[in-house]
């Protein structure tokens, strides 16, 4: 698989599956998206043991709580965790941007003056996008 096709699949499935996981069925985000990343990793020729660790780490991280009932410390730790599995492949500045973007959009979706502009589905899409970007940059850069 060429890198451009991998980028298209990772980024579009990140947004779609993250949003679908918030609406219909949580496993779209928790399990299917990590498996999509695994499949792309196989097609890119990444090492199997790294892919297994990466996929398990993503399943754990994407299952962490961050809803309205989760305390802000929990949201903060979950936001940081979103980027941790990608470190298996390498480092990118998105490791820092992803948690910041997630926490800011989460706050904006719950703040009355901006809640209509940052509907929760928009926040899910942005989070799925940033998580996907983080992963594809480090995976494709291998």
Q: What is the pTM of this model?
A: 0.88
User: Do the beta carbons of residue 59 and residue 30 sit within 8 Å?
Assistant: yes
Helix axes 120-140, 3-23, angle to 10 degrees: 150
Structure confidence at residue 70 (pLDDT): 87
Domains of the chain, by residue range, sit at 3-140
- Tokens for 10, please give them: 């990772």
103-113 core/surface letters (b: 16 or more CB in 10 A; e: else)? bebbebbeeee
Residue 117: half-sphere exposure toward Cβ, Cα within 13 Å = 8
Structure confidence at residue 21 (pLDDT): 84
Structure confidence at residue 119 (pLDDT): 84
User: Do the beta carbons of residue 122 and residue 4 sit within 8 Å?
Assistant: no
What distance in Å separates the CA atoms of residue 100 and residue 82, rounded to the nearest whole number? 11
What distance in Å separates the CA atoms of residue 109 and residue 22, rounded to the nearest whole number? 14
Structure confidence at residue 1 (pLDDT): 86
Structure confidence at residue 55 (pLDDT): 94
pLDDT tens digits for the chain (142 residues)?
A: 899 999 999 999 999 999 998 889 999 999 999 999 999 999 999 999 999 999 999 999 999 988 778 898 998 999 999 998 988 888 888 889 999 999 999 889 888 899 888 888 898 899 999 999 999 898 887 6
């Amino acid at each position: 698989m060429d890198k451009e096709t991998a980028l298209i699949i990772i980024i579009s499935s990140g947004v779609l599956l993250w949003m679908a996981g918030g609406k219909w069925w949580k496993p779209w985000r928790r399990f299917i998206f990590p498996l999509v990343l695994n499949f792309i990793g196989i097609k890119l020729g990444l090492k199997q043991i790294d892919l297994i660790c990466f996929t398990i780490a993503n399943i754990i991280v994407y299952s962490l709580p961050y809803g309205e009932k989760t305390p802000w410390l929990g949201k903060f730790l979950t936001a940081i965790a979103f980027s941790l599995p990608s470190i298996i492949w390498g480092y990118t500045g998105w490791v820092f941007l992803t948690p910041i973007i997630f926490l800011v959009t989460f706050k904006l979706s719950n703040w009355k003056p901006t809640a209509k502009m940052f509907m929760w589905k928009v926040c899910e899409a942005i989070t799925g996008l940033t998580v996907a970007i983080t992963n594809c940059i480090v995976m494709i850069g291998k």
